[in-house]
Amino acid sequence: MGLLIIFICFVLFLTVYVFAAFLKAQYLTGKRPVEVLLNERKSSPDYCSWEKISEEVKKYFILIEDPGFYKRRGVNLNIIIRRGLSCFVEKGRVIHGSTVSQQLAKNLYLHFERTIFRKITEFFICLKIERCLTKEEIFTFYLNIIYYGNNIYGISEACEYYFLKTPAELTANQAVFFACLIAAPNAADPVHYPEKFFSLKKRKLEKCFREGLISEKELEYFCSFPENRPDPEFAPAFRRTETVPAIHMVNESFGSFY
């Protein structure tokens, strides 16, 4: 009898907990509708539309960040539950790899604290986002608001800062660079911590290879650069600080290094 009472209390608590997250999601998306936020971002001069993003970016961002993005309808509840219950820690490491819709929801509406309540709220916001926007709109909006390190937000500014290019001009190497960078733009900042960035990139690409998302040839090529300096094809135009020496070299594909 005592166990039954405990179970009933737990179910009631969980119901109230989930309902509270639902109400918060409704409040946040009602106060600031996602369509309004998208239109506000589109009005910015540095907004980059879907048509102006290279096919390499569209391919490798999705392969590395959310390979089921275009096939999946709605949100991946299994991922949300698994990462929520794990409290984002696996073998002492923070778990990254939320879906594109989750990351968009988090960046638009939520703080970055790692709690189950936030994750449940994020789930309901994801449902709203998936109902209101197309896949192309979600992915483009996501690229235009996420953080790329060094006080850079949005893919247009990131391309200018790191490569002196536009998003339409990015190659496969540079697309992989950004897709890996956003997982840890501060801790694995390629400007100041090139070794950490290379290690992060290698782990993510090896995971993609194990899952059959990229070929062995792609894995070898993207990971074929030295660990003791920024990859020459990834980082030709860093505006470095005085404490980080510039690398002077010329690459036939990317031009002069600064």
Note whether residue 256 is domain-resident.
Answer: no
Q: What's the domain range around 168?
A: 16-237
- Checking 200-203 for CB contacts under 8 A at 24+ apart, the result is 201/176, 201/177
- Pick the closest to residue 133 from 182, 175, 75, 80 (CA basis): 75
Say what percent of the chain tops pLDDT 90: 45
Q: How many domains, the chain?
A: 1
Q: Compare 258 and 192 and report the one with higher pLDDT.
A: 192
Say what percent of the chain tops pLDDT 70: 76
Note whether residue 248 is domain-resident.
Answer: no
Q: Is the pLDDT of residue 247 over 70?
A: no
Note whether residue 216 is domain-resident.
Answer: yes
Q: Mean pLDDT over residues 184-213, rounded?
A: 90
Note whether residue 130 is domain-resident.
Answer: yes
pLDDT of 191 reads 79
pLDDT of 225 reads 59
pLDDT of 76 reads 58
Note whether residue 120 is domain-resident.
Answer: yes
Note whether residue 252 is domain-resident.
Answer: no
CA 21 to chain centre: 23
Q: Is the pLDDT of residue 34 over 50?
A: yes
Note whether residue 180 is domain-resident.
Answer: yes
Instruction: Output the CA angle 151-198-76, nearest 5 degrees.
Output: 75
pLDDT band at 40 (very low <50, low <70, confident <90, very high): very high
Return the CATH number at 226: 1.10.3810.10
Note whether residue 141 is domain-resident.
Answer: yes
